[in-house]
Amino acid sequence: MIARRMLAAVVACAAGLAVNPAFAHHSYAIFDLTKTITISGTLKAFQWSAPHAWIDVLVPAADGGSELWPIECVGPPFMIRAGWSKDMMKPGDKLILDIHPLRTGKLGGACDAITLPSGRKMSLGSFSYPRSPPAASQDGKETLPGK
């Protein structure tokens, strides 16, 4: 009887999992992955968090102020494999970012690559979002993850 109840519970849970394939992160549909735009700004915060890391950038606005662009990255385990680290940038750093913008036109997007103040370009390469074209480095060569 207990075994039967356990089986029923497992089946119920499996059914629950089947309708809940994505959890605590959203689909990529909110980003326009066919478009890549470049923004420049000052780092407000680099959130080394899971399931997604975030780069909050202040981008100069037309009115002389600045606008906050929250840029979503893949998860830190992928970023580590692509050569990124928590300490690679700090608030106040000037950054150039290649991003896939939000479809809604609001400020924000998915990170494809960033250029650090040193001029070093860090790509998420094959760890970037699905169907994202390989990012080219400044000299036109493809940047491999981890390089």
Instruction: Determine whether 145 is exposed, middle or buried from the number of CB atoms within 10 Å of its CB (0-12, 13-18, 19+).
Output: middle
Residue closer to another protein by CB (options 24, 140) is 24
Q: Are 100 and 39 in contact (CB under 8 A)?
A: no
Q: Smallest Cα–Cα separation from 36: which of 119, 123, 132, 127? A: 132
Using CB under 8 A, which of 107, 116, 136, 137 touches another protein?
A: 107
Using CB under 8 A, which of 20, 62, 64, 140 touches another protein?
A: 20
Contact stretch for another protein (CB under 8 A) within 17-25, 35-43, 119-127, 131-139: 17-25
Tokens 């001029």 appear where? 119
Residue 23 contacts another protein per CB under 8 A: yes
Residue 45 contacts another protein per CB under 8 A: yes
